[in-house]
């Protein structure tokens, strides 16, 4: 295709601008990091706290991001209601934990007092996700891509404001688990018990999900449907059942993440799914949307950068109240990754036909 001189000049100007933007951001990161380290404002123990908190937060993002990436891998659509599915799990876990705490079960059996709300939250989120798939997405499966995207926004707002109508706009305080108060000394490092539990629980669930997807019959069916639905159907795979399972499985992970989030931040409300949902979507893109290990890596990287970045990069540049800009750090990092590596950290595993 022939291009005019004007179009070539515009392309050159855009390329120069993008490279200038990349160099500027990298220079700011390097200078900010150097100045912060040289000033020695934070001790090694404080940097460790930043990293551990970032890993805990990133583990929650990763669990939510798995739902985004699994649905995208199967249907090639972004389920923007997934953040609200996460919120429904947090509410389910809150009500279960409150009831168990009221009868003294949590203090008497802290392990089951934590596991039962997580399981209940997973069931609540999976049930609502299956309803959303059946009502809002399945009838539009063969429609242009923009149509289910709009339906996803509608489903998101419906869930959000339905919960506001049922439970009000206020915040609910998640019950205190006495066994999780305080800290543990691990290899000479004081770590909050809640953060340790969140990291371990998220790691176990991510490993379990990876094993299911990679080494079980239903996981193979999911990957076959992801490659080509028509061919999978000809080979005897029930495509609808696989899609429903994918929604339910991803939602169950989000529901569990909702309880872990409530353990860290100690509150639940109807709007709590928005920001973590957007961050998890960012993590999925960062890792390579459609790629399950990528979602895990993207969540952890995002969480650590969001926790460490403001103190490491911005304070060295003399920016006051840098921690309030942690969201800017997260999204700037996303832009940088997409500029340098548009397919994400681990890349998107797509066949040429699907791409």
Tell me the pLDDT of the chain averaged across its residues: 86
According to the model, what pLDDT value does residue 226 have? 85
Max Cα-Cα span within the chain: 77
CA distance 166 to 351: 44
User: Euclidean distance between the first and final Cα of the chain, in Å?
Assistant: 22
Per residue in 265-281, pLDDT tens? 888 999 998 888 888 88
Paired strand residues for 289: none
Q: Tell me the pTM.
A: 0.86
**Cβ 339 vs Cβ 21: under 8 Å:** yes
Q: Of the candidates 281, 246, 252, which has an alpha carbon nearest to the alpha carbon of residue 75?
A: 246
Helices marked H in 216-325: 217-227, 229-234, 239-265, 274-287, 292-309
DSSP class of residue 138 equals: G
Q: What is the pLDDT of residue 181?
A: 85
pLDDT in tens, 189-213: 888 888 899 899 888 988 888 899 8
Model confidence at 352, pLDDT cuts 50, 70, 90, reads very low
Alpha-carbon distances, residue 170 vs 39, 167, 285, 352 (angstroms): 42, 8, 32, 49
Please report which confidence band the pLDDT of residue 334 belongs to, taking 50, 70 and 90 as the band edges. Answer: confident
Among the listed residues 107, 92, 124, 128, the one whose alpha carbon sits nearest the alpha carbon of residue 262: 92
Instruction: Report pLDDT digits (tens) over 226-244.
Output: 888 888 888 888 998 999 9
Element (H, E) at 183: strand 183-186
């Amino acid at each position: 295709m022939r291009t005019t001189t004007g179009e070539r000049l515009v392309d050159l100007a855009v390329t120069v601008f993008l490279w200038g933007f990349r160099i500027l951001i990298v220079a700011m990161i390097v200078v900010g990091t150097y100045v912060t380290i040289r000033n020695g404002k934070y001790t090694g123990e404080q940097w460790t706290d930043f990293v551990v908190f970032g890993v805990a937060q990133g583990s929650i993002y990763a669990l939510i991001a798995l739902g985004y990436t699994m649905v995208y891998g199967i249907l090639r659509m972004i389920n923007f209601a997934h953040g609200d599915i996460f919120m429904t799990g947090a509410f389910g876990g809150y009500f279960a934990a409150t009831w168990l705490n009221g009868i003294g079960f949590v203090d008497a059996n802290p392990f089951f007092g934590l596991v039962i709300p997580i399981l209940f939250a997973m069931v609540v989120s999976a049930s609502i996700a299956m309803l959303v798939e059946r009502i809002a997405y399945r009838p539009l499966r063969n429609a242009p891509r923009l149509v289910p995207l709009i339906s996803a926004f509608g489903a998101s707002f419906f869930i959000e404001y339905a919960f506001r109508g049922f439970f009000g706009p206020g915040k609910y305080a998640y019950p205190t688990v006495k066994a999780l108060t305080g800290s543990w000394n691990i290899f000479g490092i004081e770590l909050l018990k809640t953060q340790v539990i969140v990291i371990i629980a998220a790691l176990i669930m991510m490993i379990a999900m990876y094993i299911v997807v990679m080494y079980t019959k239903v996981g193979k069916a999911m990957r076959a449907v992801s490659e080509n639905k028509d061919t999978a159907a000809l080979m005897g795979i029930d495509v609808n059942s696989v899609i429903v399972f994918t929604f339910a499985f991803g939602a169950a992970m989000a529901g569990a993440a909702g309880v872990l989030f409530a353990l860290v931040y100690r509150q639940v409300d109807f709007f709590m799914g928005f920001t973590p949902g957007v961050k998890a979507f960012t993590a999925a893109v960062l890792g390579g949307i459609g790629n399950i290990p990528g979602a895990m890596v993207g969540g952890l990287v995002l969480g650590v950068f969001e926790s460490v970045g403001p103190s490491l990069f911005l304070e060295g540049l003399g920016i006051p109240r840098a921690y309030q800009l942690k969201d800017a750090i997260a999204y700037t990092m996303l832009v940088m990754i997409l500029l340098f590596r548009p397919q994400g950290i681990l890349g998107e595993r797509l066949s040429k036909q699907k791409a």
